[in-house]
């Protein structure tokens, strides 16, 4: 064709891989007109995807296809059997990005023929374009490659670079695992509303509406969160009474610290 485009393989189409691909496909015409995606998954139905930019395969291509970027979205325990097949499918300036939790840059480089590697820790709200992703690159990744992978992750939310893999593990504890904490807090909040006398649908609407509205207000304001809390808390009012029960003794602060410490410790164990 004589036309240059960035050829990308997304290896694995599970929950996170599918979430990312659905968002990339949705914005491809506008943001990535020069990208072509091959989604490779054993369960895939081979053929065209949601846009001309996307093709589904159930095995690595056997023709002369070379990829500028291979994004690995398989479970960490499958890396040893999956990634080496793509070492020979990388273009001369090709590189690897991985969302496999706990798989180190050193391991990924060893499995991919010493290709440049970017580790990515996304979170599930990427499925609705509101994710937070941490990115960590090895020293052989070029500025152009950093820009390419950052553009992809910015298309599904917020992309944040960190300096090393320990920082990525800490980010995992905060943002990667964070949706689980928020879902659990919301679940508990809904149950408390039901115990107060609301039916399940009403309790869910009240809680999720309150959470989303409050977060939107905080994001738009930029004010210190403590100041925002104070702005809705009248002395001796209902909010003050609730806050005293919630965290008057600092128990919530301690619980959140313990939550993040436990998640970080597990991330370290998985290295």
Range of the domain at 201: 178-269
Same domain, yes or no: 196 and 247:
yes
Structure confidence at residue 107 (pLDDT): 95
Final residue before a domain boundary, out of 136, 151, 174: 174
Same domain (yes/no): 35, 131: yes
Q: Are both 114 and 15 inside the same structural domain? A: yes
pLDDT for residue 206: 98
Residue 144, pLDDT > 90, answer: yes
Q: Which residue bears the tokens 């296809």?
A: 65
- Domain final residue, candidates 123, 141, 174: 174
Whether residue 246 lies inside any domain: the answer is yes
pLDDT score of 168 more than 60: yes
User: For the domain that residue 251 is a member of, what is the CATH number?
Assistant: 1.10.3730.10
**pLDDT tier, 1 (very low <50, low <70, confident <90, very high otherwise):** very low
In this structure, the answer to whether residues 144 and 205 fall within a common structural domain is no
Dist. CA 6–CA 16, nearest whole Å = 22
Comparing CA positions, the residue from 94, 36, 103, 34 lying closest to residue 70 is: 94
Residue where a domain terminates, one of 119, 145, 174: 174
Same domain assignment for residues 47 and 154: yes
**Percentage of the chain modeled with pLDDT above 90:** 80
Mean pLDDT (whole number) for 111-119: 96
Q: Averaged over 63-78, what is the pLDDT?
A: 91
Does residue 32 form part of some domain? yes
pLDDT one-digit tens code per residue, 20-50: 999 998 888 889 988 999 999 998 888 876 6
Residue 230 lies in a domain: yes
Domain co-membership, 170 together with 125: yes
In-domain check, residue 76: yes
144 with 223, same domain: the answer is no
pLDDT digits (tens, 9 = 90+) for 250-265: 999 999 999 999 999 9
pLDDT band, very low/low/confident/very high, at 116 (cuts 50, 70, 90): very high
Task: Please tell me the total count of domains within the chain.
Answer: 2
Report yes or no on 130 lying in a domain.
yes
163 shares a domain with 104? yes
SS (H, E, C) the chain: CCCCCEEEEEECCCHHHHHHHHHHHHHHHHHCCCEEEEEECCCCCCEECCCCCEEEECCCCCCCCCEEEEEECCCHHHHHHHCHHHHCCEEEEEEEEECCCCCCHHHHHHHCCCCCEEEEECCHHHHHCCEEEEEEECCCCCHHHHHHHHHHHHCCEEEEECCCHHHHHHHHHHHHCHHHHHHHHHHHHHHHHHHCCCCHHHHHHHHHHHHHHHHHHHHHHCCCHHHHHHHCCCCCCHHHHHHHHHHCCCHHHHHHHHHHHHHHHHHHHCC
Quick one: 152 and 107 in the same domain? yes
Q: Which residue(s) pair with 56 in the sheet? A: 39, 47
When the pLDDT of each residue in the chain is averaged and rounded to a whole number, the result is 93
Calpha distance 148→156 (Å, rounded): 14
For residues 190 and 196, give the distance between their C-alpha atoms in angstroms, rounded to a whole number.
10
Residue 122 lies in a domain: yes
Look at residue 61 in the predicted model and tell me its pLDDT: 86
170 and 199 inside one domain: no
Instruction: Tell whether 265 and 230 lie within a shared domain.
Output: yes
Q: Is the pLDDT of residue 2 over 60?
A: no
CATH of the domain at 146: 3.40.50.720
Residue 1, domain member (yes or no): no
Asked if 99 and 203 sit in the same domain, the reply is no
pLDDT of residue 91: 93
| 73-79: average pLDDT | 92
């Amino acid at each position: 064709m004589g036309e240059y485009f960035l050829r990308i393989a997304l290896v694995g189409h599970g929950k996170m891989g599918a979430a990312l691909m659905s968002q990339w496909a949705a914005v491809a015409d506008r943001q990535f007109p020069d990208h072509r995606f091959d989604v490779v998954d054993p369960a895939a139905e081979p053929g065209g995807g949601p846009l001309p930019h996307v093709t589904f395969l159930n095995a690595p291509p056997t023709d002369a296809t070379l990829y500028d970027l291979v994004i690995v979205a398989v479970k960490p325990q499958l890396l040893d059997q999956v990634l080496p097949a793509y070492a020979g499918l990388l273009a001369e300036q090709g590189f690897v990005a991985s969302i496999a939790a706990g798989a180190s840059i050193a391991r990924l480089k060893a499995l991919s023929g010493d290709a440049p590697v970017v580790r990515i820790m996304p979170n599930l709200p990427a499925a609705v374009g509101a994710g937070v992703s941490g990115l960590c690159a090895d020293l052989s990744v070029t500025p152009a490659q950093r820009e390419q992978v950052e553009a992809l992750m910015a298309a599904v939310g917020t992309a944040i670079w960190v300096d090393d893999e320990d920082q990525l593990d800490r980010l995992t504890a905060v943002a990667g695992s964070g949706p689980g904490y928020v879902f659990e807090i919301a679940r508990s909040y809904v149950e408390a509303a039901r115990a107060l006398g609301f039916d399940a649908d009403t309790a869910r609407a009240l809680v999720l509406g309150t959470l989303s509205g409050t977060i939107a207000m905080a994001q738009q304001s930029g004010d210190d969160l403590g100041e925002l809390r104070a702005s809705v808390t009248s002395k001796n009012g209902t909010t003050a009474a609730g806050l005293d029960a919630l965290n008057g003794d600092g128990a919530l602060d301690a619980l959140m610290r313990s939550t993040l410490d436990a998640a970080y410790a597990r991330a370290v164990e998985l290295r």
